[in-house]
Each structure stands twice: as structure tokens, then as C-alpha cells.
Amino acid sequence: MTPLSAPGMRAIPLPDADRLISAFDNALRTLFAPARSPRTLPWKSLSDEGLNDAERRFSARLMRVNHSGEVSAQALYQGQLVVARGEHVKRLLTRAANEENEHLAWTEHRLTELGGRKSLLRSFWYVGSFGVGMASGLLGDRWNLGFLAETERQVESHLDGHLKILPSTDLRSRAILAQMKEDEAGHAVAAQREGGAELVGPVRFAMQLTSKLMTIGSLWV
């Protein structure tokens, strides 16, 4: 990366061409190509025969929200990656992004099984999240990691909420969200361990508000 700076100002890293190309490729694959997961599907041996039509529709709407969240996660991590400085931060973000891509595949597959559709706003979520990721990354690696840790803590809380309201008979969706929750918790712990800064209250509140808007939008559109 080539730093952009002026006298008396802290250098701002600019993303190199390779990272920008990789980020653009990721955007196209996330938004327009079927997601793939090398990991065994968490719900492979479970049945959803106990779901009635109303429960299936409700589960599909919740899974659409979670799929949108995974679209946003891909964008967020790619935005953070293009301006990350330290190699250890890049490795952590890359590992988290790879697991989030598995989550994207799981939620997409389950959404199809439930007869649901993806959010029509997913391109909007991607662009916005990519910008937020870049902004957090430009503040430096400590804040980049702190943003990652707080994001994952909030996602973990969100998934816990969905697990409480999912139909008890929707064993497949429950298995997906439970594994996702475990993975998100691991990302948060890793980011904190690597030196992530603790975000101030107003920033955490703004993140919660943004997440709420995405949740409501994806639930209906």
C-alpha cells in the first residue's frame, strides 16, 4: 500500500490494485454466484417435516435476514481488508471472511429449502457495509480489530434472539444459527486477543441502529 499523507498528518494507507480487484471479485461472487461451503452442513441429518406452512414462511423471513447479514459481513471484512496494515490482522480478517462465506452458503441453501427469496436490498447492504469496513480500517489496526470484535458480539446477540423465536420444529434452521453463533463468538475472542480496541458507547449504538435498519429492511424487502 502507498500511504497518503500531508505534513503533520498521520499516513493513510491506500489499497493496492490486487486487493481492490479481489474485493470486486468477492462482491460479484457474493451477490450473483451460488455460495459454496467446504464444511459439512450443520443440518445434514435433521428433518424439517414438522414445519407447517405458516412456520415455514416465518422461518424463511428470518433466514432472509440472516442471509442479508452474511452478505453484509462479506462486504464489511473485504472493506477492512483492503486497508488493513498488519499481516496478523489481514490473516484474522481473511479467516473470518472465509467462515462467513460458509455461513452465507448455509443461509442461502436453507432459504431456498424454505421456499424464501433473498433480500432485494442486498446490493445496497453490500455497498454500505464495504464503506463502513473501509472507514473502520482507516483508523488503524487496533480499531479495525475492535470493530470486528464488536460486530461479532452484536451478531452473536442477534442470532441468540432468532434462536428464541424460531419455531421449535425448525431443527435445520436452529442447527445453522447455533453453529454460526459459535463461530461469531470465536471471531470476537480472536480479535480481542489480537489487541482490538474497546469501542465507545456512541459507536456501538450507531452499529446497533444500522443493524436494526438492515434487519427490518430484509425482513420485508
CA-to-CA distance for 103 and 35, rounded, in angstroms? 9
Q: How many angstroms separate the Cα of 115 from the Cα of each of 55, 64, 68, 103, 111? A: 12, 11, 16, 18, 6
Q: How many angstroms separate the Cα of 163 from the Cα of each of 58, 177, 201, 207? A: 13, 7, 26, 21
CA-to-CA distance for 130 and 96, rounded, in angstroms? 15
The answer as to whether 137 is a domain residue is yes
- Cβ atoms of 121 and 218 closer than 8 Å: yes
- Model pLDDT for residues 144-184, shown as the tens digit of each residue: 888 888 888 889 999 999 999 999 999 999 999 999 999 98
Rounded to two decimals, the pTM is 0.86
**Domain tally, the chain:** 1
214: left (phi over 0), alpha (psi -120 to 50) or beta: alpha
The answer as to whether 44 is a domain residue is no
Residue 58, domain extent: 16-28+52-220
Per DSSP, what are the bridge partners of residue 13?
3
- Model pLDDT for residues 116-140, shown as the tens digit of each residue: 999 999 999 899 889 888 888 888 8
The answer as to whether 5 is a domain residue is no
Question: Which residues, including other chains, have CB under 8 Å from residue 83's CB and lie 6 or more apart?
Answer: 1, 13, 14, 15, 134, 137, 138, 144
Reading the chain (221 residues) residue by residue, the pLDDT tens digits are: 444 433 443 455 556 667 777 777 778 788 887 888 877 777 777 888 888 999 999 999 999 999 999 999 888 888 888 888 888 888 888 888 888 899 999 999 999 999 999 999 999 989 988 988 888 888 888 888 888 888 888 899 999 999 999 999 999 999 999 999 999 888 888 888 887 888 877 888 888 888 888 888 888 88
The answer as to whether 108 is a domain residue is yes
The answer as to whether 188 is a domain residue is yes
Cell reading at 146 = 475492535
CATH number of 67's domain: 1.20.1260.10
The answer as to whether 33 is a domain residue is no
Alpha helices in the chain (DSSP H): 17-32, 53-83, 87-113, 122-138, 141-165, 171-193, 201-220
The answer as to whether 193 is a domain residue is yes
Q: Is 143 exposed, middle or buried (0-12, 13-18, 19+ CB in 10 A)?
A: middle
The answer as to whether 179 is a domain residue is yes
